Copies of this chain bind each other. A is one copy, B any other.
Amino acid sequence: MRVVVPFAAETPKTRLSAVLDPEERREFARVMLDDVLAILEEAGTDPEVLATADTEIPVPVTVDDRPLTEAVNAVLGGSDGSVAVVMADLALLTPGVVDRLLEADGDVVVAPGRGGGTNALVVRHPDFRVDYHGVSYLDHLRAAREVGATVRTVDSHRLATDVDEPADLAELLIHGEGEARAWLESAGFELAIDEGRVGVERDEG
């Protein structure tokens, strides 16, 4: 199965601008990508990257500067067999979770992100196409039914947690096991508990 990881190489992670400057956001996005690729390899796959711009990465890279939906649909249209699409900011990924995703039955397998996005997909039906706008999880369930594809969902907190807002950093500090968590800690972030709610605080010292 082809395993494709879309990666926004330029100005990534703008929702983290309150806590990370542009250069840090680029670094952090790249460290998360490297974690995701390493876990996908550990799970026995040969991941490739679909990047918006030329990027130095030690796996095959396709550059496509179109929006995510169009770029992923070009991959789906140009593939003969199954394709998995796994987001580059799933920093809580583990090999076991990858197995759950890839081994799930269904012509289309969808892993919802928190907020109704689609964090990972397996596509085994030739007519299914993606649309990442809006509540794409629900749209993808509908689109799969419309082309007559069977659908399964994967219920995973690790797959549901794409790291793109400050609150997500707490999840990475709680559950992360890779370099992205280490990067965050070395940047001075730690868990903070305020009135029973868990967040992060940054030591700038």
User: A114 with B171: in contact, given A135-B198, A160-B160, A198-B135 (CB under 8 Å)?
Assistant: yes
Between A116, A156, A157, the greatest number of chain B beta carbons within 10 A of the residue's beta carbon is seen for: A157
Given the known inter-chain contacts A135-B174, A193-B134, please indicate yes or no for A157 contacting B112, CB distance below 8 A. yes
Number of identical protomers: 2
A161 neighbours in B (Cβ, 8 Å): 114
Cα A115 to Cα B114 in complex, Å, equals: 13
- Nearest chain B residue, comparing its CB with the CB of A92: B155
Given contacts A112-B175, A174-B112, A197-B115, contact A191 B135 (CB under 8 A): yes
At the interface, yes or no: A137 with Cβ under 8 Å from chain B? yes
**B198→A115 contact, CB < 8 A:** yes
Whole-angstrom distance between the Cβ of A161 and the nearest chain B Cβ: 8
CB of A97 closer than 8 Å to a CB of B: yes
Q: How far is the CA of A114 from the CA of B168 in the complex (A)?
A: 9
Q: In the assembled complex, how far is the CB of residue A164 from the closest CB belonging to chain B, in whole angstroms?
A: 10
The A interface, classified by DSSP as helix, strand, loop or mixed, is mixed
Interfacial residues of chain A within 125-142, with CB under 8 A of chain B in the complex: 133-135, 137-138
Q: Is the CB of B155 within 8 A of A97?
A: yes
A51 CA / B67 CA spacing, docked (Å): 51
Contact of B137 with A174 in the complex, beta carbons under 8 Å: yes
Q: How far is the CA of A112 from the CA of B157 in the complex (A)?
A: 9
Could you write out 8 A-B pairs with CB less than 8 Å apart?
A114-B161, A115-B197, A116-B198, A117-B198, A134-B193, A155-B158, A156-B156, A156-B157
Instruction: Give me 19 other A-B pairs in contact (C-beta within 8 A), A97-B155, A115-B167 excluded.
Output: A112-B157, A112-B174, A112-B175, A114-B114, A114-B157, A114-B161, A114-B171, A115-B170, A115-B171, A115-B197, A115-B198, A116-B170, A116-B191, A117-B198, A134-B193, A135-B198, A155-B156, A155-B158, A156-B157
